[in-house]
Structure 1
Amino acid sequence: MKDIEQLDKARERVIETIAQNMGLYGVTPSVGRLYGLLYFKNEPMTLDDMKEELGMSKTSMSTAVRHLLELKMVEKVWKKGSRKDLYIVNQDWYQTFADFFAIKWRTSISINVKAMKKSIEELHGILNSESVEEGIQKTAKQDIEKLEHALEYYEWLNRVVDTFESKDIFKHIPK
């Protein structure tokens, strides 16, 4: 009995640490606990299994699993004879990080680039105005230069994300 208690204690330590650090992935500690639970399971689990193990509602489990699926941290699997959805954790932490990085950065890049392009367009509108004051015109030109420089950064960052999505990152920094 003591060995099983030590095994559970060792696993629980890792699960709690994962749960505490899941904020990096934008998820709550309870989602992190679910990930940790799935990580140590050697077989797929249903939402009912997860609910029973963690004492959370089936709705909460469903939401947590959906979030982990979106981050590609868990996968839905099929098992002969089972009608329920089954889930396993993606064991490849390297790929999980690469997927997460790409998902989050693509979103951020898109939002920032869109805002900057719109602002550049508006700033050009100011420059094309016949009644623009000299000081405003100078500031608008400076802002356009800054934003165009920032857009170059986002082009570079898109190429970085490309290396994660294509898995070329692992050629430069092997697993």
Structure 2
Amino acid sequence: MTTRATTAKTAAEKSLDVTQNAVQEATAKVETFVADAQKSATEQFEKFSKGLEGFTTFSQDNVDAFVKSSEIAAKAAEGIGTEISAFSKKSFEDGVAAAQDFASAKTLTELFEKQTSYAQSTFEGFVSQATKMNEIYVAAAKDITAPIGARVTAATDAMKSFSL
């Protein structure tokens, strides 16, 4: 072979080697890129799945808190109803007893004294009952809002963790 032919063959081989190396490097880079993209996609999907599970759990806890608050409210309403009923019954019985006592009055002065005494005891009983009912309402409101308040605190904590 002539030197020219050998030189052309060597140049062709070098060109072929350079092309093959470039193809191999490009293939390796593409494979690395695809592997990294797949790994990143998998990680992001796992994070999304965990976030979705956390959201589902959080939502279920919210529903549970509302159910618990509703149960507490129902029990409180029942207790309040019982208390009102008992006070009404006592007030009625006291009224009947007072009417009988009024009927036994011998003089007008005695009747006025009995009415005054009854009015005073009725007013004191009403004030006492109003105070008691206020305490019941405050306690019930505190108990009813406790589960929801806990969920608000959990939501606030969750939002703080997202912003960090």
TM-score > 0.5 by shorter chain: no
What is the TM-score normalised by the length of structure 2? 0.36
- The answer to which structure, 1 or 2, has the higher relative contact order (CA under 8 A, 6+ apart) is 2
Q: Which of the two has greater helix per residue?
A: 2
What is the TM-score normalised by the length of structure 1? 0.34
Q: Which of the two has greater strand per residue?
A: 1
